[in-house]
Structure 1
Amino acid sequence: MTETTADNRAKLTRSAAIASISVALILVALKSWASWQTGSTAMLGSLADSALDLIASIATLTGVWIASMPADQDHRFGHGKAEALAAIFQVMLIAVSAFGIAARALSQLAGGTQTSAAGEGIAVSAIAIVLTFALLAWQKYVMNRTRSLAIQTDHLHYKSDLLLNLAVIAALVLDQYAGFGMADPLFGLAIAAWLAWGAFTAAREAVDDLMDREWPEEKRLAFVEAAALHPELTNLHDLRTRASGNRDFVQFHVDLPGTMTVEEAHDIIERVEKDLCQRFPNMELLIHIDPRGHVDEPGNPLVEEDEFAKLEGDS
């Protein structure tokens, strides 16, 4: 990830959220007209998704705005969790949307209604695809520079919208021009299932953030390897990692000789912290020093585990 200042990150995430709101407003207007013209369940599902996207994008803007606030006396670790909360809110909306679309599709299957004015619906879906591609490109640019969880969840919405709009086109073509009357409700059910799966995936990532899940193993290993480049450190243990929005928080214990002065130990840790924070931008690091040979918490393997020893064992 390219290192980005806090102010630039805030501007980028806000711009992506505002772009999402703008696209959603246009699509809601177009799809409302197309749904009225066609009577298509697939189009109605697409409209419901865009309407929820609009609400979710507003939630995203709120989340990234709060997350960009600096740490204060009441929130000394910052406000990064606001992005995960915004993502959870979006997930709830997606789940409600999926349930409503599925119910409408099942009702249509039982009733056997047919769509009309397929041309208008196809044109609106094509416009939606073009606008969505443009939005996804900008969101991808912002994500690569900010790691915003809320923007990532919003990006997932609009990625699914590409398939959703293609499904609407296919449903209208099959229903109107191929005479396959069940195409529209069947595609509606498929869209509902796709939305439900997307909600589950996004929820899992947001919950991981809220529950302070450890870093992925590859990233954790890379961190230990970077720390191991400092030969003055031994027995790196009680390593704990977590993420909050776009910020990482890491702490660990390390052994230094008991005969070393406080000033000498402080200088070593300062150099280590500076190097590791350069290698892992947007990280807050806390290092605790133990005198060599000290055992922190007997019987607790999570605390006692020597990450350097594991590294040598794997090599």
Structure 2
Amino acid sequence: MQADYQLWVKRSAYLTLCVAVLILVLKLWAVLLTDSSAMLASFTDAALDLLISALNFAVLRYALRPADDNHGFGHGKAEAVMALLQAAFLAGAALLVLLQALDGAKGQVTPQAPGFGMVITLCCMALTLLLVLAQHWIIRRTGSLAVKSDSLHYRSDLLMNAAVFLALALVWRGWFWADWLIAALIACYLLYSAAQLARESLQHLLDEQLPADELRQIEQLVLAQPDVLACQQLRTRRAGPKVFIQCVLVLDDHWTLKQAHQIVDAVELQLKARYAGAEVMIHPEPRSDAQLLPE
């Protein structure tokens, strides 16, 4: 499972880099010929996407390393650190786009050749859609946070390119105000995306529990073992592709140490079947002492 994860995440990084470079070149061409604030905003975001994709490629090589003496829990949190950095980049790009929109509102920039810009925008939308579909398939297969954050950018790019196309279409009709207004709306969307990405990154970095429905599933798996009386102190967290689970199993007093160990092993197998590659830590506790455990 881990090898499969690494294979598809690396393939996603290669594909994203190639598509990002091609889109960036197309948008630069359009910016030079159109002088559109909306197109310039889209180019700024594309340049940011390329930078982030390159950083992701480097960080993933580190995040996919196995655990070592200095990092006993692996390097998976490097993905969350990278995603948080991406959120900061997105926020900075949004502020830059807002400044560009203000210049357009003051009449300092007049768009040219909107028809050419519309053609380039359609080409970029087609490339982006193909990339998003490929990333969606890889996310379902791996659950990678880095690929998910990359996909968030390119999904937002689809809406952004549609907005740029609309702006250029309106400019073509002589409504020049649409150019700077849509550029400002793009900036607001970038800020919203940055906030979402930052929140998800912090969930990983701060060891937030798995979602409530998954916690219930874990408890059901544990209690499905007929010799387990209760599951207490269930704690979970996620780092990259790996899930960490620890809990206390309440067992009857009459079980021997060997029998208790067999019960714990059975529970671990169930959990690892549900979460491939999971790190599971279980402490068996006799029922007579269970009431002493803190809530």
**TM-score band (shorter)?**
over 0.9
- CA distance in 2 between counterparts of 1:81 and 1:196 reads 24
Q: What code does the residue aligned with 2:200 have? A: E
Task: Give the match's secondary structure for 1:111.
Answer: coil
The answer to whether the aligner puts 1:251 opposite 2:251 as a matched pair is no
CA contact (8 A) 2:2 2:277 kept: no
Partner of 1:48: 44
CA gap 1:176/1:267 in 2 versus in 1, 3 angstroms: same
Q: Which residue of 2 aligns with 1:313?
A: none
Question: Normalising by the residue count of structure 2, what TM-score does the alignment of the two structures yield?
Answer: 0.97
Kindly provide the amino acid, as one letter, of the partner of residue 77 in structure 2.
K
CA distance in structure 2 between the partners assigned to 1:123 and 1:252 by the alignment? 58
Partner in structure 1 of residue 178 of structure 2: 183
Which has the higher mean CA deviation after the structures are superposed, 73-82 or 281-290?
Answer: 281-290
Which ranges in structure 2 are unaligned for 5 or more consecutive residues? none
User: 1:142 and 1:43 mapped to 2: Cα distance?
Assistant: 30
Cα separation, 1, equivalents of 2:194 and 2:240: 19
AA aligned to 2:27 is K
CA distance in 2, matches of 1:228, 1:297: 20
* Consecutive unaligned residues in structure 1, runs of 5 or more: 305-315
CA distance in 2, matches of 1:297, 1:147: 38
Matched, 1:285 2:280: yes
The aligned residue for residue 127 of structure 2 is 131
Instruction: Give the corresponding residue for 2:269.
Output: 274
Task: Give distance in 1, aligned partners of 2:52 and 2:246.
Answer: 34
SS in 2 for 1:166: helix
Q: Is 1:115–2:122 an aligned residue pair?
A: no
Look up the match of 2:223. 228
Q: Separation in 2 of the partners of 1:85 and 1:51?
A: 20
Secondary structure of residue in 1 paired with 2:74: coil
Displacement of 1:237 in angstroms is 0.7
- 1:188 and 1:231 map into 2 onto residues whose CA distance is 61
Q: 1:142 to 1:266 in 2, by over 3 A?
A: same
Q: Does 1:85 align with 2:48?
A: no
Letter in 2 for 1:143: I
Letter in 2 for 1:233: V
- Report sequence identity in percent: 35
Q: Please give the residue correspondences for 1:160-199 in structure 2 after superposition, counting only pairs within 5 Å.
A: 160-177=156-173, 179-199=174-194
* Matched residue type, 1:205: E
Q: Which residue in 1 is equivalent to 2:102?
A: 106
Q: Deviations over 1:103-144 (max 9, x none)?
A: 110121022532111121111111101110111111111111
Alpha-carbon separation, structure 1, partners of 2:67 and 2:199: 26
> Take 1:219 and 1:158, find their aligned partners in 2: how far apart are those partners?
28
